[in-house]
């Protein structure tokens, strides 16, 4: 959601990191798993399993849906993708080398997703859980609104505004 973002570099860096982490963990980043990760990395929009299947079909590969779901489950378990529940989709993780919470800014107009990396937000949510005596087992925060580009486009402001 930022015009200064070098997506090709972040994509190649994330793919190289995933390959290294999988090797270090004794896991196999098979050809299909790698390609599924590449497909998800190619966009900053969350992708559903059937979007991935469509991209694979354009490549000339036609795996069965359960095969793609298993690949996505593997990638999620390894921290290479996050699940965006509200969209029944997956977004690439650009920091799979460190444990972190799953927080996203989701543009309701263009569909982009930006992962939030904010220690203060992490601390605030952990503190709220602690004060409630609650033990979080998983966490995804989804904030829907307008990215800077869509916000600056006056034709999108009234669409679905609260």
Please report, for the chain, the start and end positions of each structural domain, with discontinuous segments joined by +: 7-152
Encoding tokens for residue 94? 């650009």
pTM of the model: 0.82
Q: Which DSSP string corresponds to 69-114?
A: HHHHHHHHHTTSEEEEGGGTEEEE-S-TTS---EEEEEETTT--EE
68 closest CA partner among 37, 45, 23, 46: 37
Using 50, 70 and 90 to split pLDDT, how confident is the model at 59?
Answer: very high
pLDDT at 156: 55
pLDDT digits (tens, 9 = 90+) for 94-113: 788 887 788 999 999 999 99
User: What is the spatial distance between Cα 14 and Cα 26, in angstroms, rounded to a whole number?
Assistant: 18
Q: Which residue has the higher pLDDT, 83 or 139?
A: 83
Which CATH number does 7-152 carry? 1.10.10.10
Encoding tokens for residue 7? 């997506």
pLDDT digits (tens, 9 = 90+) for 3-20: 555 667 778 888 999 999
- The rounded radius of gyration (Å) of the Cα atoms in the chain is 17
pLDDT at 157: 55
Is the pLDDT confidence value at 115 over 80?
A: yes
150 closest CA partner among 112, 116, 104, 115: 112
User: What is the spatial distance between Cα 141 and Cα 118, in angstroms, rounded to a whole number?
Assistant: 12
């Amino acid at each position: 959601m930022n015009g200064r973002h070098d997506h090709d570099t972040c994509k190649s860096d994330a793919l190289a990191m995933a390959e290294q982490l999988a090797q270090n963990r004794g896991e196999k980043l098979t050809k299909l798993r790698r390609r599924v990760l590449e497909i998800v990395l190619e966009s900053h929009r969350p992708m559903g399993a059937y979007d991935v299947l469509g991209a694979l079909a354009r490549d000339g590969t036609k795996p069965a849906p359960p095969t793609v779901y298993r690949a996505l489950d593997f990638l999620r378990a390894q921290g290479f993708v996050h699940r965006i529940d509200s969209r029944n989709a997956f977004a690439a993780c650009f920091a799979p080398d460190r444990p972190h919470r799953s927080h996203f800014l989701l543009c309701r107009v263009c569909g982009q997703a930006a992962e939030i990396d904010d220690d203060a937000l992490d601390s605030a949510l952990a503190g709220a859980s602690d004060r409630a005596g609650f033990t979080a087992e998983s966490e995804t925060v989804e904030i829907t609104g307008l990215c800077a580009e869509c916000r600056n486009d006056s034709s999108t402001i009234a669409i679905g505004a609260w």
